[in-house]
Amino acid sequence: MDGLYTAPSSGEAMVSHETVAVRDGGIEGDRYFDGNGYYSATDGCQVTLVDAAVLDEAEREFDLDLSGGRHRRNVVVRGIDPSALLDATFALGEAELRGTKLRPPCAYLADLVGDDVGAALRERRGGICADVVTPGRVAVGDTLRVTEANPREMGREIADRLGGRDAEAASSEPNPETGHE
pLDDT in tens, 119-164: 666 666 778 999 999 999 999 999 999 999 877 666 666 677 787 6
Helical segments of 43-116, H only:
52-62, 107-113
CA 98 to chain centre: 10
- The mean per-residue pLDDT over the stretch 26-55 comes to 88
User: If you average pLDDT over every residue of the chain, what do you get?
Assistant: 83
Model pLDDT, residue 23: 97
Model pLDDT, residue 82: 94
CB atoms within 10 A of CB 159: 17
| Residue 104 pLDDT grade (very low, low, confident, very high; cuts 50, 70, 90) | confident
Helical segments of the chain, H only:
52-62, 107-113, 117-120, 151-161
**Which of 31-45, 51-65, 90-104, 161-175: highest mean pLDDT?**
90-104
Assign a CATH topology to domain 3-148: M1 Pyruvate Kinase; Domain 3 (2.40.33)
Model pLDDT, residue 123: 63
For the chain, report the end-to-end CA distance as a whole number of angstroms: 37
The domain ranges of the chain are 3-148, 150-181
